[in-house]
Structure 1
Amino acid sequence: MTDKIKLACIIDDDSIYVNLIRKIIETKKLCDNLLVFNDGKDGIEYFETILQNLEDKFIPEVILLDLNMPVMDGWEFIERFTTIRNKIKKTITLYVVSSSINQRDIAKAKSLSSVKNYLVKPVEIDQLEAVFTKTA
Structure 2
Amino acid sequence: MGDKIGLACIIDDDSVYVNLVKRIIEAKQLCKNLLVFENGKEALSYFEAILTNVSEENIPEIIFLDLNMPVMDGWEFLEKFISIKNNFGKVITLYIVSSSINPLDITKAKNMKGVKDYLIKPVTIEDLESIFSIV
TM-score (norm 1): 0.97
- Give the aligned partner of residue 81 of structure 1: 81
Residue matched to 2:116 = 116
**Per-residue displacement from partner, 1:13-36 (whole Å, max 9, x unpaired)?**
000000000000000000000000
Deviation for aligned residue 1:2: 2.5
TM-score (norm 2): 0.97
Deviation at 1:124?
1.0
Moved over 6 A (4+): none
After TM superposition, list the pairs within 5 Å mapping 1:1-136 onto structure 2. Answer: 1-134=1-134
1:24-81 Cα distance to aligned partner (Å, 9 max, x none): 0000000000000000000011001111112221000000000000000000000000
State the secondary structure of the residue aligned to 2:45. helix
Q: CA–CA distance in 2 between the matches of 1:50 and 1:133?
A: 26
- Quote the RMSD (CA, aligned, Å): 0.9
Per-residue CA deviations over 1:62-102 (Å, capped at 9, x if unaligned) read: 00000000000000000000000111101100000000000
The 2-side partners of 1:38 and 1:95 are apart by 16
Report how far residue 122 of structure 1 moved.
0.3
Deviations 1:81-134 (A, max 9, x none): 000011110110000000000000000000012100000000111111111112
Aligned-residue identity in percent: 62
Q: State the number of aligned residues.
A: 135
- Secondary structure, counterpart of 1:71 in structure 2: coil
Q: Which runs of 5+ in 2 are unaligned?
A: none
